Chain A
Amino acid sequence: MSEAQLDTRGMLCPIPVIRTQDRVRELAAGDVLEIVATDPGVLHDIPSWCRVHGHELLETSETNNEIRIRLRVCAP
C-alpha cells in the first residue's frame, strides 16, 4: 500500500480526470492517491469518476483556490 501524489494545478477539466484515470491504472488496489488541482470542476468530476469506477473517495478540501482530493483505489 502506498500513497501517491498527482499535481494537476493549472489544468482544466477534463484533463485532471484523465490524468487521475491514467495514474490510478498504475496503482494497486488499496493504494491512496492525492490529487492537487485548481479547476473547481474536479470537485464534481473526480467524485463522479470514482463512483463510475468504484474507487473510494476519502476526502476533499479546498484552501486558497487549491483543491485536494484523496481517493483509495479499489480492485477493478
Chain B
Amino acid sequence: MTAQSKAISNPDRPRRAVALISGGLDSMLAAKVIQEQGIEVQGLNFYTGFCVEGHTHAIRAKDRAKPKRNNALWVAEQLGIKLNIIDVSEEYKDIVLNPRYGYGQHLNPCLDCKIFMVNKAQAWGFMEENGFDFIITGEVIGQRPKSQRKETMPLIARESGAHDRLLRPLCAQHLPETLPEREGWVDRDALYGFHGRNRKPQMALAEQFGLTDYAQPAGGCCFLTDKSYSAKLADLWSARGKRDYELDDIMLLKVGRHIRPSETYKLIVGREEGENNYLEGYRKQFAHLRCESHRGPLTLIDGAPNAADIEQAARIAARYSQGRDAAEVTMSVHHPNGVSEVLTVTPYAPQEIPERWHV
C-alpha cells in the first residue's frame, strides 16, 4: 500500500510543483499541463556527468560553429519557469556502479536513476525554504521497456520516498489517484492517459500548446543508453579490474578514438582539431604522444604501459599521423613526471591494428 499523505497547513495558499526537466518533450509537456491548471511550477535538472547536453558539441570543431543550446534551459524559457541545475555527478556514481534494479539495454540504470532523481527532487522541493507540494515527471507507461512500465510507476513512487506526491500528468489517468488529485489541487480529468511508444499524442499536445522546435533525443537522455559509449565504459572497468570511474574518465569516453592493444594501456587519439584541443587539457595528467616529423593528432596513453607498450603505442599513433605511409616517423613521448623521449618508429599498417582493439 502506498502511504497516503495529508495536505499540510494553510489550505488556501497556492500550490507549487517541482518538475523534473530533462530537456526532452515529455517532461516539458508534463510541466506545461500542470502550469495550465494554475499551479506554480519550477524545474529541476540533474547533471550526472553522462548527460548528452553540451559537452561533445563543444568539443568537436565542426560542432563549435553551430549554435547549440542547453535543452533544459530552453524548455524553462519556453515555459517561463525557473530552472535549478544540480550537479549530482559524485553521488550518481553509486547508481551507475551498483544499480539495485540492474541495467537496461546497455549500461543505463534507468530505474535506479529515476528513483534517485525523484528522491533528490523531493528532498530539495519539500524543504521548508523551497516549499513545494508535489513532484511531476514526464513518464509515460510503456514508453521504455524496462523503466517506464505500469509496475515501475508505483515502485519509483515508493522507493523515492515521494509516494503519492509524485504525479505523472501524461499518464495519470492509468494510475491511482495521487495527493494533488485527491486534494483537488489539480483536476484529474484534465490530465492524460498516454501509454506505449507511440509519440503522436505527445506531438499533438505540443502542437496544441504551440510548442515547436523541441528536442527529441533518440534512445534516452544520457550517454549510458549509447551502445558504443557503454562498451567503452565496460572496457575501462575490465582493464582496471574494478568498477569505478572519475569524472575525467567518463568525459574522455566521449572524445576521440579509443584503442586498447593490451590490458595495461589504451590510447585516446584525437580525431580532429577540436578533440585535440580538448585532449591538450589532459596532457599534464596522462603520458602522451606527439608526432614530430609530420602533422598528427595528440594521443593520450591511459594506464601503466611498459617500454614495449610505449613503442607499440608510438607505432599505432604514427598510423594516425600524416606520416602513416612513411618508412619512419619521429614521435615524442611525454611522461606525466615531465620526462620526454624521442622514438623513431615505423607506423603500423592498417591490418596490424585489429578491429578488436577498437573499443
**A interface residues (Cβ-Cβ under 8 A, vs B):** 10, 12-15, 17-18, 21, 39-41, 44-45, 48-49, 51-53
Contacts and interface: CB of A to CB of B under 8 A. Distances in A.
25 contacts: A12-B58, A12-B59, A12-B251, A13-B54, A13-B58, A14-B51, A14-B54, A17-B70, A17-B73, A18-B85, A18-B87, A39-B54, A40-B58, A41-B54, A41-B68, A44-B67, A44-B68, A45-B69, A45-B73, A48-B69, A48-B74, A49-B83, A52-B73, A52-B77, A52-B82
Contacts of A15: 47, 87
A17 B85 contact: yes
Q: Which 5 A-B pairs have the closest CB atoms?
A: A13-B54, A48-B73, A39-B58, A52-B76, A45-B70
Interface string B306-326: 000000000000000000000
A18 B58 contact: no
Q: Helix, strand, loop or mixed for chain A's interface?
A: helix
B53 interface: yes
B281 interface: yes
Contacts of A49: 73, 83
A8 B55 CA distance: 14
B84 interface: yes
A17 B55 CA distance: 13
Nearest to B70: A45
Interface of B: 47, 51, 53-55, 57-59, 64, 67-70, 72-74, 76-77, 81-87, 251, 281
A10 B82 contact: no
B69 A44 contact: yes
B53 to A, nearest CB: 6
A41 B68 CA distance: 7
A18 B73 contact: no
A14 B58 contact: no
Nearest to A53: B82
A25 to B, nearest CB: 10
A10 B281 contact: yes
Q: Helix, strand, loop or mixed for chain B's interface?
A: mixed
Contacts of B87: 15, 18
Nearest to A20: B85
B79 to A, nearest CB: 10
B165 to A, nearest CB: 24
A19 to B, nearest CB: 9
B54 A12 contact: yes
Nearest to A9: B281
Contacts of A52: 73, 76-77, 81-83
Contacts of A10: 281
A56 B307 CA distance: 56
B58 A41 contact: yes
B142 to A, nearest CB: 30
A51 B78 CA distance: 11
A13 B251 CA distance: 12
Given A15-B87, A17-B85, A48-B70, A41 B76 contact: no
A17 to B, nearest CB: 6
A45 B64 CA distance: 14
Nearest to A49: B73
Contacts of B47: 14-15, 18
Given A41-B58, A44-B70, A51-B77, A14 B53 contact: yes
B57 A41 contact: yes
Nearest to B85: A18
Contacts of A44: 67-70
Contacts of A14: 47, 51, 53-54, 70, 72, 85
Given A18-B47, A48-B70, A52-B83, A13 B53 contact: yes
A53 B54 CA distance: 20
Contacts of B81: 52
